[in-house]
A and B are shown apart, each in its own frame.
Chain A
Amino acid sequence: MELRIVDPAGTEPPTERLATSPRPQSLKGARIAVLNNGKPNAAYVVGELGRHLAGRLGAEQVVAAEKPNSSRAFAAEALDEFRNFDAAIVGVGD
């Protein structure tokens, strides 16, 4: 026997997708942003990756930003600084 039930999972999330800019063909000379989410060692992780990229690929020196409180979103003005960058690395979680 079957029972008709109401789905408790709600409606689908908004389907709007972000439009993405073209990917860079190479990272040579690219400007790369590294965003530290405020967790311990996050600055070291993204900073070191940026330095590796600069050293191996001739990417420009990376530019870093951090959010002081990992439980809040990045400030819009902090992100605006990277509007015309070629690539960005962002940390999530611990």
Chain B
Amino acid sequence: MLICTDSFLPLARAVARQEGFESLAVVTLPHPIGGLEPQGLDDALADAVDAVIDALLSAPAETVPGVVHTAVHDAPADVSDFLAFAETRRWSDGLPLVPPSEELVARAVAATGRDAGELLGLVPPSNRGATVAAVAANAVMAGCRPELTPVVIAAVEAALKPSFNLQALTTTTHPVTPLVIVHGPVVEELGFNSGPNVFGQGNRANAGVGRALRLVLQNIGEARPGETDRATHGTPGKYAYCIAEDAAASPWTTFHEDRGGGLRGAVTVMGGEGPHNINDHGSTDAEGILNTIAGTVASLGSNNLYLRGQMLLVLGPEHADVLARDGYDRRRVQEAVHAHPRARVSVEGVSPGNMDRYRRTAPHVFGNVPPDGIVPMLDGPESLLVLVAGGPGKHSMLVPTFGTTEVVTTDVDPGSADG
């Protein structure tokens, strides 16, 4: 049997279904159980014992009726009526959607050069199947032009790689969502924004691809806010979170080359928080800028402190130029930030309850550290990914991650001339 707090019941049900055990008994306790002295739970636990006994002795149902979905529907042609229709099916992220008509979806599928029925994988936590047609339907709904569909397909394929840990990313309380980084020739070819306001609004390719991936997670994966998507606050990136590399502004080998991306281009997905600003208007040399970057990397409230993993540094072109002028390439930037005294935290600032957790989640960092010790935020130089994007100005951005996730890069298919 499963036990969870009442708040997490929808997720427990989804996990049971996902494991092929839909009728598995679930017993709930009042939320929360964390953040309390353990003895404060004693009454609730005593009250739950009878239900636990019943659950352990109960026979699971032989079969559970499923809901059958059809591949196509007749939907209202009127836009307002269609939006209401979509909302009742829970296909909405809250913003208006383009109706995925058979004609528009056929054009999107044609642009991929793939079969409509090809299965890209199962999307957690529902484990429903992401076919090319279903992904294309979400791309249409998100407002993607047909030629963007191969980029959406690549992003979905990348997000479904086991090392990305999509199951945890879509169900956690942490404010994480896949950041899609587009790099290589496809950036210019399809008009992605890699310049001013790169994380912001105003570009149909960035907005469409980022939103399409989110709709896939919600509509196919059934990651539903407050139910299976357990995010405490979420993040604005859950509407759309897609940037592109500015290869021309990169003073070093490009991120695309560094990631070994293909001829047409590639996408890299990262389980990221929202971007954190690195404001440095005053420094005129690399030492000053690296000091500010390192100070932004260090954060007691970051998952990367105790789950480790990777972070992304998006250098504004002006910061990148100063670093390059002073002799830094990507590797030297990574090494300098990793080793920087400001990219560390004192464990004196970590509460005893958190230290107890951190020793178990990251024993290689916290296992033997003395009470007045200092620990690095990054396990190594390569834990910091570095690319150049953004417009004029003295800002860079840091994207911390969920921690228990690895970035994944997937090539964008050549696609089809028919698209």
Residues of A within 8 A of B (CB): 1-18, 20, 23-27, 30, 32, 38-42, 44-46, 48-49, 52-53, 56-57, 68-69, 71-72, 87-94
Contacts and interface: CB of A to CB of B under 8 A. Distances in A.
B49 A4 contact: no
Contacts, number: 212
Contacts of A25: 57
A76 to B, nearest CB: 14
Contact of B8 (A24, A71, A88, A92): A92
Interface stretch (B123-131, B326-334, B376-384, B386-394): B123-131
A4 B99 CA distance: 9
Given A4-B72, A6-B105, A11 B128 contact: yes
Given A5-B99, A91-B2, A14 B12 contact: no
B56 A87 contact: yes
A3 B48 contact: no
A6 B100 contact: yes
A19 to B, nearest CB: 9
Given A3-B99, A17-B20, 4 more contacts: A9-B220, A16-B20, A27-B57, A89-B2
17 contacts: A2-B75, A5-B74, A7-B134, A9-B134, A12-B129, A13-B122, A18-B21, A23-B57, A38-B360, A48-B42, A69-B307, A89-B1, A92-B11, A94-B8, A94-B33, A94-B173, A94-B230
A7 to B, nearest CB: 5
B74 to A, nearest CB: 4
Contacts of B48: 49
Nearest to A46: B3
Contacts of B78: 1
Contacts of A71: 165, 168, 172, 307, 402-404
A78 B311 CA distance: 31
Interface of B: 1-5, 7-8, 11-12, 15, 17-22, 26, 29, 31-36, 38, 41-42, 45-46, 48-49, 52-53, 56-60, 63, 66, 68-78, 82, 89, 91, 99-102, 105, 119, 122-123, 126-131, 133-134, 136-138, 141, 165, 168, 172-173, 215, 219-220, 230, 307, 353, 357, 360-361, 363, 402-404
B60 A20 contact: yes
Contacts of A18: 19-21
Contacts of A7: 69-73, 134, 137
B45 A6 contact: no
B68 A5 contact: no
A94 B32 contact: yes
B37 to A, nearest CB: 9
B52 A6 contact: no
Q: Top 4 A-B pairs ranked by shortest CB distance?
A: A93-B8, A11-B129, A71-B404, A10-B220
A53 B46 CA distance: 10
A69 to B, nearest CB: 5
Nearest to B127: A13
Contacts of A20: 21, 60
A9 B69 contact: yes
A57 B56 CA distance: 12
Contact of A93 (B1, B91, B230, B402): B230
Contacts of B105: 5-6
Nearest to B35: A40
B316 to A, nearest CB: 32
Contacts of A72: 165, 168, 404
Contacts of B102: 4-6
B115 to A, nearest CB: 14
Nearest to B82: A3
A49 B2 contact: no
Contacts of B360: 38, 68-69
A46 B1 CA distance: 11
B3 A91 contact: yes
B45 A40 contact: no
Nearest to B116: A6
Nearest to B139: A8
A81 B71 CA distance: 43
Of listed B20, B76, B105, B219, residue having the most chain A CB within 10 A = B20
A72 B34 CA distance: 19
A63 B18 CA distance: 26
A45 B100 contact: no
B3 A56 contact: no
Nearest to B357: A40
